[in-house]
Each structure stands twice: as C-alpha cells, then as structure tokens.
Amino acid sequence: MRATLAFLAAIAAVTLLGGCSTDPDSEETSASTGTPTAEEETATEETAFSLEEADAEDIDRALAALVEEVGEEPAQITELNISDSTVGIYAVDPSAPDELNAWEYRNGSVGPSSPVDYGGDTEALSQNLFSTADVSASAIESALAEAPEAGEIEDGGIDGLTMVWMGPDLGVVMQISVSGERESGLVRFEPDGTFIEVL
C-alpha cells in the first residue's frame, strides 16, 4: 500500500496556474503594468530558490511558506521534493483529510495548489504521512553536500531530492539523485542526515 501510494504521488502532475490581475482604476505603476520595480527585483533575487546555492535558511524559508499556504503547522505530507529552482510538497488538506494537494515554492512565493490523485485509499494515505516538523533543513543541507562523494560518482552533481516514507523498515528517507558524465545514482540518507546506501 505504502509503495503504491508513494509511486502514485511521485508521478502525479503538479499543475501550477499563474496570472496577475490589475485594477483599471489604479495608478499606472510598474506593479500594475507587470513590470517589477528595482526593490521587487532585489527581493525576488534574495528569496528565489536555487538548489545549487541553497542552505538551511533557504530551505527553512521555502518550507515555512509552503506550510503557511497549507494552513496547518506542522503540515502532514507524503512527499517533499527539492529540484533546481523549486521546493514542493504533497500535503493533506487540514479541512478535508482525505484530499491530497501539491504545493510548490518558486521565486520566493508559493503558487496555487493542485489536486493529487492518490487512488482514494485513505488508509494507505494515512500510513504514508509524515510531519513537516520531522524535516530538518540543516540535515538536508548536509546530505546535499555529502551526496556526490557518498555516491562515489565522479564529477557528480545534484539533480534533486525527494523525501518520502519508504516502508516500516526504512521509515522516512531522503533520496538524492546524483549524476555525472558517465554514471548516476540515488543516494539515501535518514531524516537526520545519516548516510544509508547508494542505489
């Protein structure tokens, strides 16, 4: 059941809807025309997420923004994903515990949620949940830094990180994708950053 849910969640499409609205009665400012001001550009640069440069503070900031949008702290999630420029979670709707939604943090803000089809097995859903309180940004930072060497992949670079429940034997696992010119691998860590294995 857990494996099925994790697989379904992993392949669920995350569709983010973007857009902006302007007030025709407002003054013609850079904000209303969609052109960012110098201050807004600086703020975006400071809060934009980059996997290559991310530290614990960046990860904490992204996670806090996601949890705030979910509406429950800590949030109950089935998955945490970190890619080149985004941090995403699959979180249970606190007002509808049988509904799972995808949220994504990008460029300093969280976009609208999109529903995740997990097959409707609420028992499996509850078994696969873990808390954002159990996510350590400093452990993630440490694991991301250690993964290429731990994976013994020459000139390896980080492609992304996924944190999911991997069954009663392993529990919650951080799985980091590392690739080089000639090889790639998945490097696993415990939530506290302890190395487990390379696949």
Question: How large is the average pLDDT for residues 93-114?
Answer: 96
Closest of 173, 161, 88 to residue 128, by C-alpha: 173
CB within 8 Å of 133: residues ≥ 6 apart:
74
Q: For the segment 2-23, what is each residue's pLDDT rounded down to a tens digit?
A: 444 343 344 333 332 233 333 4
- Cα separation, 82 vs 198, in Å, equals 19
Q: For residue 161, what are the β-bridge partners?
A: 82, 176
Q: For the segment 104-128, what is each residue's pLDDT rounded down to a tens digit?
A: 999 999 999 999 999 999 999 999 9
Report whether pLDDT(43) > 60: no
Q: Is 120 left (phi over 0), alpha (psi -120 to 50) or beta?
A: left
Q: What is the pLDDT of residue 37?
A: 58
Report whether pLDDT(130) > 60: yes
CA distances from 184 to 100, 157, 162, 179 (A): 31, 9, 16, 4
pLDDT greater at residue 9 or residue 157? 157
Q: Which value, to the nearest 10 degrees, does the dihedral of the CA atoms of residues 73, 76, 78, 80 take?
A: 10
Residue 143 CA to its chain's centroid (Å): 15
Radius of gyration of the chain (CA): 18
Report whether pLDDT(180) > 80: yes
